[in-house]
A and B are shown apart, each in its own frame.
Chain A
Amino acid sequence: MSGALRIVLYEGPGAVPLAEEERFQTMAALLNGGFEVARTRVVDAAAQLVLGKFENGGPALPAAAQRRDISGLEPAQVVESARETRDQAGARKLEAWKPWFPVIDYDRCTNCMQCLTFCLFDVYGVDQQQKITVQNESNCKTDCPACSRVCPEVAILFPKYKNGPINGDVVKQEDVQREAMKVDISALLGGDLYGSLRSRQADARKRFSTERDESKALLERKRCLKELGKQLDIPDEVLMSLPSAEDISERAERAKAKLAQRQARSQTVKDTRPAPSDKEWGI
């Protein structure tokens, strides 16, 4: 994967320093445009675009770097110039995706796999050492921190979440106790999550059969989902995209089987078979 374009705002020998306000406005515009930029007096070998108000030929540049004199340019024009260079250089483009994904605190993680079992969107996987890892960041549903709530060790962070300790704030003893209470989803929902959804669906089916009132059932589903969303702080969008109860049940069984398989393998010290591939795990 190509990296982001490396921009250097050069103010060393061979360039006139920018005025303070101009420097701030230019830096802010580039950052808000999603660019990485270094203010330096030396052009390093990694520079790809060197911006500055050059004089006397400016500094020597690495072979791959481009120079752009920004004298007289407004910040927006500097950003446009950076975009052109980025496209020419084939550097990574910005995407609309808000970088929302779980980050694992391995100082706390016990590799219990609850997150892998819980997540409906295949965000988690295991590495060659059978250690839990985040494999598909972009599958994560924006603003949904649900998996962090089932982690018994408060080991899953969402740095852009509003509250601690999910946002990375220090984990306090009361956080651990609170999360421990939630480990058993039963305590939260009066049954395990999947069971709860299945039961609610079964109830809805009963009503269908006796009352044939679809609108009432839909209202019930919406009410339950809203309640669930409120308790776990799950966005509506995620709740509405939940698979059917059957799908969830099948997935849970599959995950349990994989975990049992993993545990059986790890308990056999003589087992010299190679670790299963991602395909074998089905993740």
Chain B
Amino acid sequence: MSETPRIVYCNCTYAKVVPPEVKGEVLRRLCASGAEFEAVADLCDLSARNDPALKRLAGGGPVKIAACFPRAVKWLFHAAQAPLPKEGVEILNMRERSADDVSRALLGGAP
């Protein structure tokens, strides 16, 4: 049986580049669901500080990350010496995708 992916949500607290209505709605749906999830204030901040939290988030099996552009997320983890594994990672871009779309992808169609 395949492992259920963990969910990581980035709030992009320090900038307004992720539409607030999208990130707010995604967080609301995560909170309304029964899912367990990890929420971080800002992946950029964690990366800049080499925060050990990134190693924990990158390890531990399959993961779905709701944040921004996949290329940015990939290299933010890498910059903090916490590279994401090549397999089992799905990055959902809240800068471009709708809250519906991201929530469905995170919660497996049952937001």
Binding site for B on A (CB under 8 A): 1, 3-4, 6, 20, 23-24, 27-28, 30-41, 46, 92, 98-101, 103-106, 134, 137-138, 157, 159-162, 164, 167-171
Contact = CB atoms under 8 A, between A and B. Distances in A.
Given A24-B27, A27-B39, A31-B11, A99 B75 contact: no
Nearest to B43: A159
- Interface on chain A toward B: helix, strand, loop, or mixed SS? loop
B68 interface: yes
B86 interface: no
B36 interface: yes
Contacts of A103: 47, 72, 75-76, 79
B95 to A, nearest CB: 8
A31 B95 CA distance: 18
B63 to A, nearest CB: 13
Interface size class on chain B is: 35 or more
A213 B47 CA distance: 49
Given A31-B13, A160-B17, A41 B44 contact: no
B59 to A, nearest CB: 12
A7 to B, nearest CB: 9
A34 B42 CA distance: 8
B71 A168 contact: yes
A36 B48 contact: no
B38 A38 contact: yes
Given A36-B39, A38-B36, A92-B51, A160 B71 contact: no
B88 interface: no
Contacts of B95: 167
Contacts of A34: 13, 41-42, 45
B42 A162 contact: no
B39 A31 contact: yes
A5 to B, nearest CB: 10
A22 to B, nearest CB: 9
A137 B39 contact: no
Interface in B70-108: 70-73, 75-76, 78-79, 95
